[in-house]
Every structure is written in structure tokens, then in C-alpha cells.
Amino acid sequence: MTGRLTGRIALITGATGGIGQATAELFAREGARLVVTDLGEDALEALATRLSAGGAEVLAARLDVTSAENWGEVTELTRRRFGGLDVLVNIAGIVDWPGIEDTTYEAWERVIAVNQTGTWLGMKTAMPLLRASGNASIVNTSSVLGLVGSGAAAAYQASKGAVRLLTKTAAVEYAARGVRVNSVHPGVVATPMIQELLDEQGDRQPDIVRTPLRRAGGPAEIAPAMLFLACDESSFVTGTELVVDGGLTAY
């Protein structure tokens, strides 16, 4: 099946990262008009150029997801360029590995600002355009570490657990207002954010050892989950978590 997002306008944060790029590429193939956002302007322009060469209509916009002002600017750019918004995919995120005692205050604040506050700001700022669509979808990126504990990554786990419940309360609030809200929970995925750890530990990485499929996933294996929740095939799905983790949380 193709054209599942034909005519739909989708804004993706963290679009130059591993999962972000894979999602943008899949959405483009499925006919979406795209707003791709991230911090690095050169990487954004390269992504937009590549997607445009494939026939997609793309707007690239630098976005610091922790800035309410910047969110307002990008949302207004989207309105001016495309006239509305149908899909918001919050992917932008950062990780910090230490546990409770070793996490610094500064690291805690930064992770919460990007992963948790950034997701909330995106929904808050884009919601008027999404409500006007009448048939909109928000896909928030949490993690398996938003579902179960690991004994590490205290700030990251706190932020991703918050995204899960923020998603659920938004789904209830907007269910009768034309906006579905769901979360995706990847397991170990070979993205730039964790590549150093994967290079160092490889198949000995503890979460890979515990993953029944015994490998890390690829970004292209997460993007279809984003697509399913963004398109009308999931029209009766809201307030849920879609776990894509190679069986990690099956134990």
C-alpha cells in the first residue's frame, strides 16, 4: 500500500537523527508534505534537498524544542507554507546515562527540558492547527525505558515515563476534538545517540543480551510504527503505546 499520507502535512522534530531521518523518508514516500526540524541547519538542508529530489514538498526549519518562542515561529511558518497541520511527530531527544546519585542537576534539567518539556511544548503550540485539521494525529517518542526500570539513566527514564503519561492524558483531552495521540516505545536502536555505546559493547550490550531477537533494531524498523499511528489505518487507536523493542519487555 502506498500514499497513506497523501495530502497530509506532517511536522517531525529531531528529523536529522536516525529515527527522524527514517521517518521523514518513509513519510515522504507515502505522500506527506513535510516540515522537518532539528538544531543543525546544514544537516536539515541536506535532508530537505534529498527528500525534495525524490518529489516531496519539504520545509526545513531550525527548531530548539525547549523554546516556546521557537515553537511558535515554526508553527507559524508551517501555517504560512502549507495552510495547516495534520500530523506532529515528536522525536527530538537526548540521553544521559548516570543513575540517581551520579546524575548532575544540569544534566537532569537538560534532559527533562528536551525530552519532556519539548514534547509538551510541541503539542501545546501545534494543537490549534491540529484541531483545525479535524483528523489529526500526534505521535510522541517515548522508550522501553518509559515502561520499565533499568537501574541507570535516571533523567532519561523519568522523561520518557512522563512522555508516556502525557500522551495518555492528551489523548483523553482531545479524543472528541479530532486529534489522536499515541506514543512509540523503541528498544535498543542503532542510532547516532547510542552508537558509541553499541560500538564499545556490541552484542555484549546488556539490553541486547536481554532482547530475545539478540540484536539492535534499525531506524527503518521504527519508522513504520510512526507511519501506522500517523495515518488513518490507526483511526481507532488513541492513548496507547506501540512497543517496538525486539521483545525486550516481553519478559
156 carries an active-site annotation: yes
Does residue 237 contact residue 180 with C-beta atoms inside 8 Å?
yes
Does residue 184 contact residue 225 with C-beta atoms inside 8 Å?
yes
Could you tell me which of 95, 97, 110 has the C-alpha nearest to residue 142?
95
CA distances from 139 to 107, 171, 180, 229 (A): 25, 11, 8, 7
Could you tell me which of 164, 192, 191, 169 has the C-alpha nearest to residue 179?
169
Distance CA 219, CA 233 (A): 21
Catalytic residue among 105, 156, 174, 251: 156
Could you tell me which of 162, 9, 179 has the C-alpha nearest to residue 83?
9
Does residue 143 contact residue 160 with C-beta atoms inside 8 Å?
yes
Catalytic residue numbers read: 156
